[in-house]
Amino acid sequence: MNYDLIIVRFGEITIKGRNRNRFEAMLLLQIQSALKDFPALSYVRGYARVYIHLNGEDYGLVAARLKDIFGIMSFSPVASAPQELESIQKCALEIMRTVDPAPKTFKVSVKRGWKQFPHDSLEMNHLIGSYVLRHCPELKVDVRKPEVELKVDIQHKETYLYCEVEKGAGGFPLGMNGKAMLLLSGGIDSPVAGWMAMKKGLKIEAVHFHSYPFTSEQAKEKVVTLAQRLAYYGGKIRLHLVPFTDIQTKLAQSGHDSLIITLMRRSMLKITERLAERSGALAIVSGDSLGQVASQTLGSMNVIGRSSSLPLLRPLVMMDKQEIIDYAVKINTFETSILPFEDCCTLFVPKSPATNPDLRIVERVEAHLGEQFDRLIDDAVEGTETVLLTETGVPGASKQREDEWF
Ligand code: ATP
Ligand code: MG
């Protein structure tokens, strides 16, 4: 079937009342940016939707990219016909013949937006339906529960016909709900958490703590690759690489072996909070999942979470590992996440990490570390290296459009 355009329907943004117009404009920009590799496409905005004219671009390729854009509820490939009965009938028949698998029942729903068209919608339902039936004797009409509903939209200049509705990624347009910092380790969980945050309309900046030279250059590369994978969904992504070696070494010497993970995580949050302030982010997202490891018990989460006053968002908190893995596969981060490079935290894992750390003891240990430790935190913030990444690498290398949202 030769499709001429795609109707893209927007999702939850329609509930946002007054700002709807701005969010829709924002989503359109994001769609255009994501589809920049299809230069022939042209765009027309409609109410809570956008019409993308293919102008010869391949529908399948465009659809594959559209599926990953947040804020899109659904979309349909559309064929257009001139304003003339026979052309519309022929087009309807061609569409019905290409539905795969072939349906047994169908119904035609005509909407006549252009009232000058000589037949009204009831007549048109009949004229199109009977034409299709005549040419496809195996088909039947079922107005209540048809397998396929053929929609015919008679507009001013041409008539649009379609019957497929593809599910979009859902969620909100990226950035609509503000910005958050994502704690990105090299593991399976945190990229999934980042994807979920983006799906809910959060623009994210990733923060990764490394203990170079204890952790390798490859471990860092792995995180860069993960951030690039996320950039496929989120346009450009800023990745902050925080030098964590001195802090970890200091904590390892503190003599509180079982608390070291708790102390490390608290330091991470304090540093991230400072980076968030600079970036105007209002939350921290992590890949924590309840009960997965010692630092993710309720007791640990409580003590760790208190080191930052920003809201801590944990999209995976109630999910099982297998569910998280399924998402990781789906969003194309799994293969990278399972590469066997060490994370800074795995280097210092004690034999028996506290599963229920005592906040007062933790605070006492931190107080004891004193100003010298605060300076290490300052140094880590100052020493943070920031790279801006796109799906394919560092921008500038590619000619990606610089626009408001990416
Ligand atoms: P992941 O699979 O994402 O590594 P995990 O199950 O290994 O998670 P932990 O190592 O306990 O869990 O980490 C919990 C969360 O803390 C991670 O999901 C991530 O958000 C954050 N985190 C852990 N290590 C780092 C790091 N080196 N840099 C940034 N964030 C980190
Ligand atoms: Mg990890």
Spatial CB neighbours of 271, under 8 Å, sequence gap ≥ 6:
207, 209, 242, 377, 380, 381, 384
Q: Which ligand is nearest to the CA of 265?
A: 1
Per residue in 161-190, pLDDT tens?
Answer: 999 999 999 999 999 999 999 999 999 999
Q: Is 208 in the pocket of ligand 1 (CB under 6 A)?
A: yes
Give the per-residue pLDDT at 162. 97
Supply angle C-alpha 390, 384, 223, rounded to 5.
45
Give the per-residue pLDDT at 403. 39
Res 402 pLDDT > 50: no
Q: How confident is the model at residue 132 (pLDDT cuts 50, 70, 90)?
A: very high
Q: Is 209 in the pocket of ligand 1 (CB under 6 A)?
A: yes
Q: How far is the CA of 341 from the centre of ligand 1 (A)?
A: 13
Q: How confident is the model at residue 254 (pLDDT cuts 50, 70, 90)?
A: confident
DSSP reduced 3-state for 179: strand
Q: Is 187 in the pocket of ligand 1 (CB under 6 A)?
A: yes
The DSSP bridge partners found for residue 265 are none
Q: How far is the CA of 200 from the centre of ligand 2 (A)?
A: 23
Element holding 335 (H helix, E strand): helix 334-337
Calculate the average pLDDT of the chain: 91
The pTM of the full predicted model, rounded to 2 decimals, is: 0.91
Which of 181, 182, 183, 292 gets mutated to test ligand 1 (max ligand atoms within 8 A of its CB)? 183
Q: Is 76 in the pocket of ligand 1 (CB under 6 A)?
A: no
User: CA 78 → CA 52, 53, 86, 95, 346, distances in Å?
Assistant: 10, 9, 18, 9, 52
369 is in an annotated binding site: no
| CA separation for the pair 103, 98 (Å, rounded) | 10
Task: Name the residue at shortest CA distance from atom 22 of ligand 1.
Answer: 185
pLDDT above 70: percentage of residues in the chain: 94
Q: Is 313 in the pocket of ligand 1 (CB under 6 A)?
A: no
Average pLDDT over residues 114-128: 94
